[in-house]
Amino acid sequence: MKKERSLGHKWMQYGALALIVQLAVACSDKTPTSPPAGHEAQVANQAQPAVPAADEPLVVAFGDSLYAGYNLDQDKGLAPVLEKALTAHGMKARVVNAGVSGDTTAAGLTRLAFTLDGLPRKPDLMLVGLGGNDMLRGLSPAETRTNLDAILAQLQKRGIPVLLTGMLASPNMGPDYAAAFNPIYPELAQKYKAGLYPFMLDGVIGDRTLQLPDGIHPNDKGVTVIVGKLAPVVAEALKP
């Protein structure tokens, strides 16, 4: 019972913070249907890895600020920390940061082909983590689903295995929104036979010692917690 109350309190914190972000976004311009000027250049600068060895798996982390390492030193973001964790577990892999802060699923869909075509070769695994900004902006879950479906369809067409990292709707969005948003990730993972890590912020949300001052994004300690949970799932997905 105590654990349930604690989890509920964390979700209330998340909901309040998400509402603040949502209101701030609502005061800005609406989400563009295509990336803003310079968007491709930002992606190109992030996703230009050295050519991995022939026997070295290539993993691409394609997502938003949770992947991009928002407000963290370059070596403290998800991709470099995950790469080190995989090496520590005896699996030497190259993990490419293809995260762009602020990306919605629509923006991700628009830049997907550009990102893939700029890689040295076809990835052995694609981590896809988008949808959080859709939720914070109050965009239609149907739109989020359609965009993620299109992303996964493109990756399937290219023969690229996928691990989908999910997001959950903030409580302040209401039960109807959550009922439409939360099933998106498990249902699409099942449809495309993709791997699924259900909630990207598991173990971090609600713990201020693991978060940046905004109360949502992980700090370097938070990234370490996320990777500690995510790395074994990635390693399993990379097994022949």
What is the set of active-site residues? 65, 214, 217
Question: Is 35 in contact with 227 (CB distance < 8 Å)?
Answer: no
Residues 107, 109, 113: CA angle, nearest 5 degrees = 115
Phi and psi angles of residue 128, each rounded to the nearest 5 degrees, phi first:
-120, 115
How far does Cα 26 stand from its chain's mean position? 22
Question: Is 164 in contact with 62 (CB distance < 8 Å)?
Answer: no
Packing angle, helices 141-157 and 105-117, rounded to 10: 10
Residue 128 bridge partners (DSSP): 62, 164
Q: Helix (H, G, I), strand (E, B), or coil: what is residue 165?
A: strand
